Amino acid sequence: MITTFTQNDVLRYIYDELSNEKRREIEISLVTDNDLMEFYIEALETVGFLKTAFKEPSAKSIENIINYSRTSISSSL
């Protein structure tokens, strides 16, 4: 039986949220389905980028927010 996998299935594969059996099935599909493999490669790149993305705002961003807040509070008084 041939199983068709979705992009969501591939993402679950990347994040290791599948049973061993489903993982093996997806691995076979990745080898035989060029579109699925292309999505897999793009998704891996995106996940890698997300892991390296900034998790906290920069000091300048925080300073801008505080200054804006001060200005807004003083003008409303």
Q: Report pLDDT digits (tens) over 34-66.
A: 999 999 999 999 999 888 876 788 899 999 999
Residue 1 lies in a domain: no
Q: Taking 70 as the threshold, does the pLDDT of residue 7 lie above it?
A: yes
> What is the model's pTM?
0.65
Backbone angles phi, psi at 3, to 5 degrees: -105, 135
Instruction: Report the domain count for the chain.
Output: 1
Residue 51, token pair as written in the block: 């892991």
Residue 2 lies in a domain: no
- DSSP H helical ranges for the chain: 7-14, 20-32, 34-52, 59-76
Domain that holds residue 28: 7-76
Residue 35 lies in a domain: yes
Query: Under DSSP, is residue 19 helix (H, G, I), strand (E, B) or coil?
Result: coil
